[in-house]
């Protein structure tokens, strides 16, 4: 009891360092009718094992997750046991909505850091074509009040707020610039699902003609619906140094959920946004005062170009119109000051249960220099990745190339 | 005309009358315009009225259409029609545009038309192409100890005469008919190719007299097993494989306990009251009510009545038609998720409901609203039908 009373909120000191030693993903596409779910997962698992030069015998524990309401399959772990390789192994199933991929990375990090397991395989997947995404998300809403009125993850409120704050023309232009930038990045990423080849000259036309979904949220702004799986392998420092030439270190992560209901998001007086809260806490305890200067890449979970644009300000602790100016000045481009989503982000590829895992996965590939066509040309030493889901459930993950940072001050 | 996925845009429109299902379109009256730009494109007008259909190609402007579909090129239009290109992708990229209610495309058209499929092409394979592969398809293990000469006399276009010689585990093809044939088969060349491709049954062709066999009948029947099956090299490998998907619709009845705190809210609704509970520390009025204030971590035992009028803090007009999880039916659009700050509520807590259809186009943030209650209230969110604009109290609040 004495020991417990010393514990403070927010404490999760690492018992040992954890590295990402394997990354595997399937192609990301609109239909995968040539594979069922376990077959698709198996493809990602094999790729991750090959990448880590390990076999399933080296894996001590498996973490498996997706959005179960999307495919209405509530024991995917059982169906998938052969594809995941979990037969006879310790396994956890995690389902935290859109955040799940990132939550699995947090879980794997904790499982290895704690010493409970040496090597953990995390698998995120979704086959959105097999169910109804928007119907599924609506069905997840609070049954007592919100389910009668919610429309999946579609909302135009952020668009409305940005238009109010920055004027219609500038806000709409910025959202389209963000959208086309993401497409330009996706065009460089051979794994991305939607690669339209959009040009900045089309912005004017698309912002008028693209079908309206909700308010000023148009089809062109919204993320894709994809099929695909991602698998990552985590192990402790000693083993990582032995087996991997390019381990990527998980420096710290934070996972926050602090909305009791949607009510207090849309009144006149708004609470500190969870994205901002998570970033502030994470940067404070790691002594990072200027995230734009510190990080070399940010893989952000951006469900729409309006959200992506707005959230940059929250995550990067920017003020006023700094985020819009940085976008306008090309500072988020692949060769800019802080490249955002070289992968093309969620707008390009979105197999939801894998989506939030793809963020740290692509960030890790950037650190390793293995990102292919969308590799950032200057050295990538520090990466930030985010996950999102439900009512702003937020995860931030910090990845490092070198094990040389000051240990986080967890207060 | 430019062909994509094995067909043309004109084919799709020309087959519309034969694919039309009049019984499904009895109460329909709509003119749909189609514009397909680029090579192989054109403009068409489709008029569906009370179970009849009229399709006409249009030279000039598309006029008088209730809705129209615009494709950037023939490939996009054909690809979407055949389901080879996902409609959502080209709608997003702007290569396909719909003017008017897109639900017509998603719901009406699939109901009144049989899905268009590419008409089967006649095989381009000639008999001599198949004969030319006989030696490589020969399976010596199946023909051990066999010695025979099989003659083919293929008549008509693409025909010819060949002799297949099987001896000592070897097989050779010679032009013309040998004199000492074990068996001779005479048939039109297209029947032969049809049989080899599997589109014509050999038994039927023989029974119907299309195939004539002279000589050792047993030998004729045995030949097929000496060879592996002929595969049309131009046929797409993907189509040989059948990918089966299973369609399932889930409907589950649920019952949710509201608990005593949320229960107060629903009890209030029955009596046309919005009841919130108040945080004793920060004064926040919680809507819907919660047992504790998460900011201050204290219990909220005091209740206040809010509203019933209020002010719009945010509004989302939804055009996207999605399923309503409460009924399974597709929601009528547009509708709005309208956030209302009730009078006497603290500034942090708005709550969300429908707005009256007639007010959708004119409401804006800051407008005053009042609830319209259901006549029969049961203690559910359906007790408030929607909010409507309230001109009388405009300007009094905020």
Q: How many CB atoms lie within 10 A of CB A109?
A: 24
In three-state secondary structure terms, A363 is: helix
Residues of B with Cβ-Cβ distance to A268 under 8 angstroms? 313, 341, 347-348, 350, 398
Cβ burial, residue A161 (10 Å; 0-12/13-18/19+): middle
Partner residue opposite A267 with nearest CB, options B248, B341, B353:
B341
B398 — pLDDT class (breaks 50, 70, 90): very low
Q: Is the pLDDT of residue A201 over 90?
A: yes
Determine the pLDDT at residue B226.
86
Range of lowest pLDDT (A122-131, A170-179, B91-100, B116-125): B116-125
Q: Is the pLDDT of residue B191 over 90?
A: no
Q: Are A356 and A60 in contact (CB under 8 A)?
A: no
Q: Is the pLDDT of residue A1 over 50?
A: no
Strand-strand pairing, A119-127 and A227-236: antiparallel
Q: Is the pLDDT of residue A66 over 70?
A: yes
Determine the pLDDT at residue A270.
84
Determine the pLDDT at residue B151.
92
The CATH number given to A15-133+225-234 is 3.40.47.10
Determine the pLDDT at residue A6.
39
User: Left (φ > 0), alpha (ψ -120 to 50) or beta: where does B38 sit?
Assistant: left
Q: Are A398 and A313 in contact (CB under 8 A)?
A: no
Q: What is the arithmetic mean of pLDDT over A2-28?
A: 73
Flag if B325 and A135 touch (Cβ within 8 Å): yes
Residues of B with Cβ-Cβ distance to A150 under 8 angstroms? 337
Alpha helix positions (H), A129-197: 133-140, 157-166, 168-188
Q: Are A115 and A409 in contact (CB under 8 A)?
A: no
Q: Is the pLDDT of residue B205 over 90?
A: no
Determine the pLDDT at residue B234.
67
Give Cα separations from A369 to A18, A184, A380 (angstroms).
Answer: 19, 19, 8
Q: Is the pLDDT of residue A206 over 60?
A: yes
Rounded to whole angstroms, how far apart are CA atoms A100 and B256?
25
Give Cα separations from B17 to B22, B49, B55, B208 (angstroms).
Answer: 10, 13, 8, 36
Rounded to whole angstroms, how far apart are CA atoms A30 and A130?
10
Closest of B322, B270, B54, B156 to residue A135, by C-alpha: B322
Rounded to whole angstroms, how far apart are CA atoms A385 and A404?
19
Closest of B18, B31, B218 to residue B114, by C-alpha: B18
Is there a shared CATH topology between the B9-112 domain and the B127-226 domain? yes
Q: What is the arithmetic mean of pLDDT over B247-272?
A: 87
Best to test chain A binding among B238, B254, B319 (most A CBs inside 10 Å): B319
User: What CATH superfamily classification does B9-112 receive?
Assistant: SCP2 sterol-binding domain (3.30.1050.10)
Partner residue opposite B258 with nearest CB, options A139, A144, A157:
A144
Share of chain A above pLDDT 70, in %: 95
Residues of A with Cβ-Cβ distance to B89 under 8 angstroms? 30, 194, 224
Rounded to whole angstroms, how far apart are CA atoms B314 and B249?
35
- Cα within 13 Å of Cα(A54), Cβ side: 28
Burial call B143-163: b when 16+ CB within 10 Å, e when fewer: beebebbbbbbbbeebbebbb
Partner residue opposite A132 with nearest CB, options B323, B347, B381:
B323
Q: What 8-state DSSP symbol labels residue A340?
A: B
CA angle A251-A254-A257, nearest 5°?
Answer: 170
Q: Are A410 and A11 in contact (CB under 8 A)?
A: yes
What's the Rg (C-alpha) of chain A?
20
CA angle A9-A12-A17, nearest 5°?
Answer: 165
- Reported as a single tens digit per residue, the pLDDT across A219-272 is 999 998 899 999 999 999 999 999 999 999 999 999 998 877 776 778 888 888
Q: Is the pLDDT of residue B82 over 60?
A: yes
Alpha helix positions (H), A290-351: 291-294, 305-315, 322-328, 345-348
Q: Is the pLDDT of residue A68 over 90?
A: no
Closest of A220, A224, A214, A219 to residue A176, by C-alpha: A220
Element (H, E) at B241: none
Q: Is the pLDDT of residue A103 over 80?
A: yes
Q: Are A227 and A351 in contact (CB under 8 A)?
A: yes
Best to test chain B binding among A202, A266, A349 (most B CBs inside 10 Å): A266
B121 — pLDDT class (breaks 50, 70, 90): low
Question: Domain residues of chain B, as ranges?
Answer: 9-112, 127-226, 259-389
Burial call B273-295: b when 16+ CB within 10 Å, e when fewer: ebbbbbbeeeebbbbbbbeebbe
In three-state secondary structure terms, A84 is: helix
Share of chain B above pLDDT 90, in %: 38
In three-state secondary structure terms, B360 is: coil
Range of lowest pLDDT (A232-236, B123-127, B138-142): B123-127
Q: Is the pLDDT of residue A7 over 50?
A: no
Determine the pLDDT at residue B199.
76
Q: What is the arithmetic mean of pLDDT over A11-15?
A: 71
Rounded to whole angstroms, how far apart are CA atoms A107 and B366?
44
Question: What does A343-356 look like in DSSP terms, one character per residue?
Answer: T-HHHH---HHHHH
A12 — pLDDT class (breaks 50, 70, 90): low
Closest chain B residue to A221, measured at CA:
B92
Q: Is the pLDDT of residue A191 over 60?
A: yes
Contacts of A97 (CB under 8 A, 6+ apart): A67, A140, A389, A390, A393
- Reported as a single tens digit per residue, the pLDDT across B24-46 is 888 889 999 999 999 989 999 99
Flag if A266 and B350 touch (Cβ within 8 Å): yes
Q: Are A386 and A343 in contact (CB under 8 A)?
A: no
Structure tokens at B332: 């009528």
CA angle B7-B28-B100, nearest 5°?
Answer: 70
Closest of A294, A293, A286, A314 to residue A388, by C-alpha: A314
Partner residue opposite A149 with nearest CB, options B93, B256, B354:
B354
- Cα within 13 Å of Cα(B357), Cβ side: 3
- Average pLDDT across chain A, whole number: 91
B136 — pLDDT class (breaks 50, 70, 90): confident
My answer on whether omega of the bond before B334 falls inside 30° of 0, hence cis, is yes
Q: Are B14 and B80 in contact (CB under 8 A)?
A: no
Q: Is the pLDDT of residue A377 over 80?
A: yes
Q: Are A124 and A226 in contact (CB under 8 A)?
A: no
Structure tokens at B273: 């009251």
Rounded to whole angstroms, how far apart are CA atoms A124 and A102?
9
Q: Is the pLDDT of residue B2 over 50?
A: yes
- Chain A nearest-CA distance from B319, in A, is 5
Q: How many CB atoms lie within 10 A of CB A32?
A: 23
Rounded to whole angstroms, how far apart are CA atoms A112 and A135?
36
Best to test chain B binding among A211, A218, A260, A265 (most B CBs inside 10 Å): A211
Determine the pLDDT at residue B244.
80
Structure tokens at B240: 């040989």
Determine the pLDDT at residue B397.
46
Closest chain B residue to A137, measured at CA:
B325
Give Cα separations from A307 to A156, A175, A300, A320, A357 (angstroms).
Answer: 9, 9, 10, 16, 19
Residues of B with Cβ-Cβ distance to A211 under 8 angstroms? 91, 97-98, 102, 319
Give Cα separations from B253 to B250, B256, B326, B327, B383 (angstroms).
Answer: 10, 10, 9, 10, 20
- Reported as a single tens digit per residue, the pLDDT across B159-170 is 899 999 998 888
Give Cα separations from B53 to B16, B19, B47, B58, B81 (angstroms).
Answer: 8, 10, 6, 16, 19
Q: Which among A73-82, A318-327, B38-47, B380-389 has the top mean pLDDT? A: A318-327
Determine the pLDDT at residue A262.
72
The CATH number given to B127-226 is 3.30.1050.10
Q: What is the arithmetic mean of pLDDT over B369-378?
A: 96
């Amino acid at each position: 009891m004495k020991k417990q009373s010393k514990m403070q909120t927010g404490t999760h000191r690492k018992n040992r360092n954890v590295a990402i030693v394997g990354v595997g993903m399937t192609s990301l596409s609109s239909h995968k009718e040539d594979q069922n779910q376990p077959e698709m997962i198996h493809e990602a698992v094999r790729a991750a094992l090959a990448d880590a030069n390990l076999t399933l015998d080296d894996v001590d524990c498996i973490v498996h997750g997706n959005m179960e309401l999307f495919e209405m399959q509530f024991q995917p772990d059982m169906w998938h046991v052969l594809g995941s390789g979990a037969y006879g192994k310790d396994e956890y199933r995690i389902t935290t909505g859109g955040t799940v991929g990132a939550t699995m990375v947090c879980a794997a990090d904790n499982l290895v850091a704690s010493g409970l397991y040496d090597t953990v395989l995390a698998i995120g997947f979704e086959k959105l074509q097999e169910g109804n995404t928007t119907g599924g998300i609506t069905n997840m809403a609070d049954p007592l009040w919100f389910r009668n009125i919610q429309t999946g993850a579609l909302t135009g409120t952020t668009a409305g707020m940005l238009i109010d704050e920055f004027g219609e023309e500038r806000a709409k232009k910025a959202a389209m610039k963000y959208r086309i930038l993401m497409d330009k990045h996706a065009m460089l990423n051979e794994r991305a699902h939607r690669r339209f080849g959009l040009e900045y000259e089309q912005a004017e036309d698309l912002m008028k003609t693209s079908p309206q979904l909700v308010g000023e949220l148009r089809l062109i702004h919204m993320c894709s619906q994809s099929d695909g799986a991602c698998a990552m392998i985590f192990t402790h420092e000693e083993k990582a140094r032995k087996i991997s030439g390019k381990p990527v270190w998980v420096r710290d992560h934070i996972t926050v959920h602090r909305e009791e209901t949607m009510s207090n998001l849309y009144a006149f007086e708004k609470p500190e946004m969870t994205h901002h809260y998570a970033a502030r806490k994470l940067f404070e305890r790691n002594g990072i005062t200027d995230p734009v200067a510190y990080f070399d890449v940010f893989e952000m979970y951006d469900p729409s170009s309006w959200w992506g644009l707005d959230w940059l300000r929250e995550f990067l602790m920017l003020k006023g119109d700094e985020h819009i100016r940085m976008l306008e000045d090309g500072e988020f481009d692949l060769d800019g000051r802080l490249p955002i989503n070289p992968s093309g982000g969620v707008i390009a590829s979105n197999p939801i249960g894998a989506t939030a895992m793809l963020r740290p996965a692509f960030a890790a590939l950037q650190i390793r220099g293995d990102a292919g066509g969308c590799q950032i040309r200057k050295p990538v030493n520090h990466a930030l990745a985010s996950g999102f889901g439900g009512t702003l459930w937020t995860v931030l993950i910090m990845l490092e190339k070198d094990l040389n940072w000051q240990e986080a001050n967890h207060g | 005309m430019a062909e994509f996925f094995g067909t043309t845009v004109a084919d799709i429109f020309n087959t519309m009358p034969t694919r039309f299902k009049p019984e499904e379109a009895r109460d329909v009256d709509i003119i749909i315009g189609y514009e397909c730009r680029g090579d192989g494109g054109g403009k068409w007008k489709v008029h569906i009225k009370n179970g009849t259909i009229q399709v006409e190609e249009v030279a000039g402007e598309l006029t008088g259409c209730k809705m129209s579909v615009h494709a950037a090129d023939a490939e996009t239009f054909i690809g979407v029609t055949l389901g080879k290109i996902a409609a959502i992708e080209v709608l997003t990229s702007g290569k396909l545009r719909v003017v008017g209610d897109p639900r017509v495309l998603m719901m009406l058209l699939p109901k009144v038309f049989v899905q268009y499929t590419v008409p089967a092409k006649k095989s381009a394979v000639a008999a001599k192409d198949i004969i030319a592969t006989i030696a490589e398809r020969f399976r010596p293990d199946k023909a051990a100890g066999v010695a025979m000469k099989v003659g083919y006399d293929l008549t008509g276009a693409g025909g010819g005469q060949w002799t297949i010689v099987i001896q000592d585990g070897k097989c050779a093809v010679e032009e013309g008919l040998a004199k000492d044939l074990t068996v001779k088969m005479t048939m039109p060349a297209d029947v032969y190719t049809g049989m080899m491709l599997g589109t014509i049954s050999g038994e039927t062709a023989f029974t119907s007299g299309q195939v004539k066999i002279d000589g050792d009948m047993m030998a004729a029947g045995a030949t097929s097993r000496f060879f592996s099956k002929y595969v049309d090299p131009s046929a797409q490998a993907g189509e040989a494989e059948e990918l089966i998907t299973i369609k399932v619709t889930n409907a589950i009845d649920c019952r949710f306990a509201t608990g005593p705190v949320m229960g107060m809210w629903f009890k209030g609704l029955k009596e046309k009251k919005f009841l919130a509970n108040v945080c004793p520390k920060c004064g926040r009025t919680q809507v819907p009510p919660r047992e504790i204030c998460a900011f201050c971590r204290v219990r909220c035992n005091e209740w206040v009545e809010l509203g019933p009028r209020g002010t719009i803090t945010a509004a989302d007009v939804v055009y996207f038609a999605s399923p309503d999880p409460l009924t399974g039916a597709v929601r009528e659009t547009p509708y709005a998720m309208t956030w209302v700050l009730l009078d006497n509520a603290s500034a942090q807590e708005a709550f969300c409901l429908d707005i009256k259809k007639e007010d959708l186009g004119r409401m804006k943030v800051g407008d005053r609203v009042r609830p319209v209650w259901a006549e029969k209230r049961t203690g559910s969110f359906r007790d408030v039908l929607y909010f409507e604009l309230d001109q009388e109290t405009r300007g009094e609040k905020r």
